[in-house]
Amino acid sequence: MDTMIGIIGGSGLYQIDGLEGASWVQVKTPWGRPSDDVLVGRLHGVAMAFLPRHGRGHVHSPSAVNYRANIDALKRLGCTDLVALSAVGSLREDFVPGDFVVVDQYIDRTFAREKSFFGSGCVAHVGFAHPTCPRLSGHVAAAARAAGAKVHNAATYVAMEGPQFSTLAESRLYRQWEADLIGMTGMPEAKLAREAELCYASLAMVTDFDCWHPSHGAVDVAQVVATMGRNAKVARETVARLPALLGTSRAPCPHGCDRALDHAIMTAPAQRDPELLAKLDAVAGRVL
């Protein structure tokens, strides 16, 4: 299989530089419209697709992002590996604004989003104990360090609904849970990537200390935007280094991300809803 890297750009990252043969393409999905058209091309010989999570110009709030359409579109284009970039708040003293963090666990506190491609008519349960791909995450960490970032490995990300920032009581509670980061877009994106049998890695860019830190108080949006601007250059350089690490030819994932549906579908074939099956053509076509 040929490698195709999908990049989901978060706040502050709305384009990828240096793509050969770059063009914005509209992808139709059975789950509705993705956040934007997808920028496709090749970077250092490796196929790449870039989707701005909030749309160009930042037009979609975290709760309004059509996560199912985004993941379906990238899978439909042929992506094998997804790297998600996002701005986050820190819940730790040693994760300071400007640092980059490779996420490996999530606490999902969202409640207003569609979280699965499956449902009545075709029920499936994928394993999610380890929600990110260790192989891909390792490459992302190496690329970020080579780009000059200070990188922390392994962190727990609390996904909150938003769009408001958290209360002081919530921020203190998440620290008691020993969570490390807080953001608004990590879920259900990671869950849907697993259902779509895509390797998924999350590189979080720390922009603030949320509101728990006694020396910082409430989140200052101006500070967040300024830090995002500084981080964006490093993020783009990180992306530029990924093709050399992943290569053009892709072997099966050693952690089984690309086989997540092997034993996940519970509904008997005779009882499966044809309409839902048609919508699953890109996501689950391998097993259906």
Question: How many other C-beta atoms lie within 10 A of the C-beta of residue 61?
Answer: 12
- Cβ atoms 279, 31 nearer than 8 A: yes
Please tell me whether the peptide bond between 188 and the residue prior to it is cis, using omega within 30 degrees of 0: yes
Q: Which residues are annotated as a binding site for phosphate?
A: 11, 53-54, 86-87, 185
Q: Which residues are annotated as a binding site?
A: 11, 53-54, 86-87, 184-185, 208-210
99 is catalytic: no
Q: Which residues are annotated as a binding site for substrate?
A: 184, 208-210
210 is catalytic: yes
Q: Which of 108, 208, 273, 281 is catalytic?
A: 208
**Helix 134-146 crosses helix 221-246 at what angle (to 10 degrees)?**
110
Q: Which of 36, 37, 180, 210 is catalytic?
A: 210
Kind of pairing, strands 38-43 and 46-52?
antiparallel
Q: Which of 53, 71, 12 minimizes the C-alpha distance to 205?
A: 12
Query: 41 has which bridge partners?
Result: 48
Question: How many other C-beta atoms lie within 10 A of the C-beta of residue 59?
Answer: 11
| Residues known to be catalytic | 208, 210
